[in-house]
Amino acid sequence: MIRPAILLGLLLPFAATSSVRAQGFVDVNGLHALNERPPTEPRLFDVTFATAAIDPKDPFPPSTGAIEQPEARARILLPASYDDGQELAYPVLYLLHGGTGSYVDWTADGGADVLAEDLELIVVMPEGGGKGWYTDWFVREADDTPRYETFHIHQLVRWINVNLRTRGTREGRAIAGLSMGGFGALSYAARHPDLFVAAASFSGGLDMTYSPQQLIVWASGIGAAADANAIFGPYNNEPLWAHNAQQLGYRAHNPVDLVENLGPVDLTYYSGTDDDAQIHVVNQRFYAAVAAAGFDPQRSVCTGGACTVVEPGAGPHYIEETLANHSFTWWSPWLADWLPHLMAVFAAPPPAPIAFTYTSADDDFAAFGYEVSMLRAVAELATLVVDGPESFTLDGSGEAEVTTAPLYVPGAPHSVAIEDGQGVATEYGVFADANGRITTPLVVLGPDNPYQQYQGAPATFYTATVSIAPL
């Protein structure tokens, strides 16, 4: 199943052979390309961007801060058929690098261009900062706050769709990464499951509540000329920690805490068991969370590529390699192992779910067409559970307004019955809008909590139930 004896050719630079005109790029969502697609490297090329999210450059005011921020860049690999005149639309894989690395690693050291050269697939390898952690940093200084999630999710995905021939939908988009990028891939997929049909992690750190991983994050903040708390905020496991701790910042991006969000995502993750020891620990913790969430996980144990399924299941798939260390010696063959599976998913993608669970700490969040605006005194996790067009529940505190996906006859009247978090039931008459969406009257959950979640004081959460029926 896994092929650790990777061919030497995978580490050789890719040589493009076809000719193509230079291509100008369109600005999208505040993302401006500073170069065109070069005609001398038609398939594998780099784009440098100006964006206010990362290392701002003209036309944005330059950063004046001391925090280490690399240029906003991406390396793009196009399929061999891209310029053959057929004008096909392609699926896209976003491939993330690891800590202390950069956007060039997957081709310079990992042979990703060779691994994907025969695939009808666009591969996008964005800069994530050697100490970036694939998040909008907790630091709140106008010029000094790197916003990697904004760059990748809210700018680059849309820019790629506009400027390249992509399928442009969730069914044609996947994400994967190694080490820090393995965390980033699953964190992004968990926070945005309506963007990615599949995700993979290669030696990813998948549990931010694990103390050794917190130490690595703190060291990243210090190494970027910031401070130990700059990336996700201060963290402490102690239940009586002072009320300035930001454990919620970690958990709101943590694959273990957001594991139920990954239910609709085709998920695969790999780790070693010996030289990859700490990574193995967090992957085991993630595997336990997957099982506890009620999924049907499969676990395989491999030695030198000979694999045995020790716990059968339909997925997610967890592959443990006893000989693996934390290097491209294993990440490259793991990518090679996963790519055929990914192409099979792209060939027959599962539809977006009509029932799902989504947890977020954002005041305003959205998933699969549903939009939630929380009205509450403090930051905390809230959970939306959609059972289908007929009903959903919302768990949290305070109040909320919910707009559904476009599931109903435009303009048609509906009954919206709300049982609030304290058992009080109210029924309303509501019309679906012109797009077939219904916005609820205010959903009351329960009294606001006095302190942000995980800051030491206990939090109380309430569940409201909303039922919708045509009149």
Per-residue pLDDT tens over the stretch 377-418: 999 999 999 999 999 999 999 999 999 999 999 999 999 999
Confidence check: pLDDT of 92 > 80: yes
pLDDT on residue 17: 28
Q: Which of 160, 203, 137, 218 is nearest to 23 (CA)?
A: 160
Give the whole-number percent of the chain exceeding pLDDT 90. 76
pLDDT in tens, 277-291: 789 999 999 999 999
Mean pLDDT of the chain: 90
Q: What are phi and psi of 338, to 5 degrees?
A: -80, -30
Confidence check: pLDDT of 18 > 50: no
Confidence check: pLDDT of 13 > 60: no
pLDDT on residue 100: 94
What span, in angstroms and rounded, lies between the C-alpha atoms of 419 and 422? 8
Q: What mean pLDDT is predicted for residues 415-434?
A: 97
**Please, which residues bridge with residue 266 across strands?**
198
pTM: 0.92
Q: Which of 180, 151, 139, 124 is nearest to 52 (CA)?
A: 151
pLDDT on residue 19: 28
Q: What mean pLDDT is predicted for residues 356-382?
A: 98
Q: What mean pLDDT is predicted for residues 419-428?
A: 96
Q: What mean pLDDT is predicted for residues 112-131?
A: 97
Q: How confident is residue 234, by pLDDT bands cut at 50, 70 and 90?
A: confident
Whether residue 405 contacts residue 392, with contact meaning beta carbons closer than 8 Å, is answered with no
Whether residue 335 contacts residue 110, with contact meaning beta carbons closer than 8 Å, is answered with yes
Whether residue 31 contacts residue 58, with contact meaning beta carbons closer than 8 Å, is answered with no
- Which tokens is 321 given? 């390699």
Within 13 Å, how many C-alpha atoms sit on residue 94's CB side?
32
Whether residue 178 contacts residue 279, with contact meaning beta carbons closer than 8 Å, is answered with no
Q: How confident is residue 457, by pLDDT bands cut at 50, 70 and 90?
A: confident
End-to-end C-alpha distance for the chain, whole angstroms: 55
Q: Are strands 266-272 and 198-202 parallel, antiparallel or unpaired?
A: parallel
Structure letter (DSSP) for residue 14: P
Q: Which of 133, 120, 153, 167 is nearest to 51 (CA)?
A: 153
Whether residue 257 contacts residue 359, with contact meaning beta carbons closer than 8 Å, is answered with yes
DSSP 270-314: EEESSTTHHHHHHHHHHHHHHHHTT-B-EEEEEETTEEEEEE--S
More confident residue, 276 or 159: 159
Which helix or strand (DSSP H or E) is residue 266 part of? strand 266-272
pLDDT in tens, 26-50: 999 999 999 998 877 689 999 999 9
DSSP 156-194: IHHHHHHHS-B--SGGGEEEEEETHHHHHHHHHHHH-TT
Q: What mean pLDDT is predicted for residues 193-208?
A: 97
What span, in angstroms and rounded, lies between the C-alpha atoms of 277 and 305? 18
pLDDT on residue 91: 98
Q: Which of 311, 319, 325 is nearest to 338 (CA)?
A: 319
pLDDT on residue 61: 64
pLDDT on residue 64: 64
pLDDT in tens, 306-353: 999 999 999 899 999 999 999 999 999 999 999 999 999 999 999 999
Whether residue 56 contacts residue 71, with contact meaning beta carbons closer than 8 Å, is answered with no
pLDDT in tens, 237-274: 544 444 457 889 999 999 999 999 999 999 999 999 87
